[in-house]
Amino acid sequence: AQSVTQPDIHITVSEGASLELRCNYSYGATPYLFWYVQSPGQGLQLLLKYFSGDTLVQGIKGFEAEFKRSQSSFNLRKPSVHWSDAAEYFCAVGAKSGSGNTGKLIFGQGTTLQVKP
Amino acid sequence: NAGVTQTPKFRVLKTGQSMTLLCAQDMNHEYMYWYRQDPGMGLRLIHYSVGEGTTAKGEVPDGYNVSRLKKQNFLLGLESAAPSQTSVYFCASSYTRNPSGEYFGAGTRLSVL
């Protein structure tokens, strides 16, 4: 079955430090991959997505993610974290059935990012 | 363009009460989805629809019903609310079966007492 795992439930980094949030997926083919951010009490904001092509994807707010097929990973990175990046981050994969894509998304459990001043 | 609009934004129910959550999209999307979000569990698919008049079960459908009588609207019903249905509900839509991931509603916060 398709699944997404975010191994880190909670991460704390200092402001200005680099950030990497991990995402591993279980999937039988080239997946559609997404990263979302959610501030407390707010909805989901799409940071970036990968469908095909260049495995390094640039997103909004200075985030990037790299698709590594050999490791089944799609880790999110940012070179310098700002206090406003404190939020919950979700990785998701597009679900497939026997007849192909379904449009449904399978989400990871989420990683809460805390930023120390 | 309003995108995906969810109504209401907040609701408090008593156990056993019923209610309907409305999701409306103005983008002529074929595919619509209802997810629920619970702490530590990410978002999980409740029901979805691949077109007007069609619905299908997702990962956690028990206790919910849905209808898609009009292409632009996808309704999620709770016939007899239970405290376990306290959650944040998100609606999403997609033009095709290839997920764009972009179109989510702002969410409905539901508390069942």
Q: Report how far residue A82's alpha carbon sits from residue A61's, in angstroms, rounded to the nearest whole number.
A: 10
Alpha helices in chain A (DSSP H): none
Token pair for residue B63? 């206790």
User: Mind telling me how many Å the CA of A5 is from chain B's nearest CA?
Assistant: 10
Amino acid A97: pLDDT: 64
Distance CA A33, CA B71 (A): 27
State the Cα–Cα distance between residues A32 and A27, nearest whole angstrom: 10
Q: Give the A window 22-61 contacts with B, CB below 8 Å.
A: 32, 34, 36, 42-44, 46, 49, 51
Do B87 and B37 contact (CB within 8 A), yes or no?
A: yes
Say which of B31, B43, B105 has its CB closest to residue A107.
B43
> What are the angstrom distances between the C-alpha of B31 and each of A10, A70, B38?
33, 32, 23
Query: Above pLDDT 70, what percent of chain B?
Result: 99
Q: Is B70 helix (H, G, I), strand (E, B) or coil?
A: coil
List the single residue in A with minimal CA-CA distance to B46.
A104
Q: Which residues on neighbouring strands pair with residue A46, listed in sequence order?
A: A36
- Mean pLDDT within B26-54: 95
Partner residue opposite A90 with nearest CB, options B42, B58, B107: B42
Q: Which of B40, B44, B104 sits opposite A43 (nearest CB)?
A: B104
| Dist CA B4 CA B9 (whole Å) | 13
- Per-residue tens of pLDDT for chain A, all 117 residues: 789 999 999 999 999 999 999 999 997 677 899 999 999 989 999 999 998 888 999 999 999 999 999 999 999 999 999 999 999 999 999 877 666 777 889 999 999 999 999
Q: Are residues A31 and B77 in contact, defined by beta-carbon separation less than 8 angstroms? A: no
Whose structure tokens read 């985030």?
A63
Distance from CA of A107 to the nearest CA of B (A): 6
Tokens 């989510």 belong to which residue?
B104
Residue B50, helix vs strand vs coil: strand
Residue that is written with structure tokens 């007849």 in the block: A99
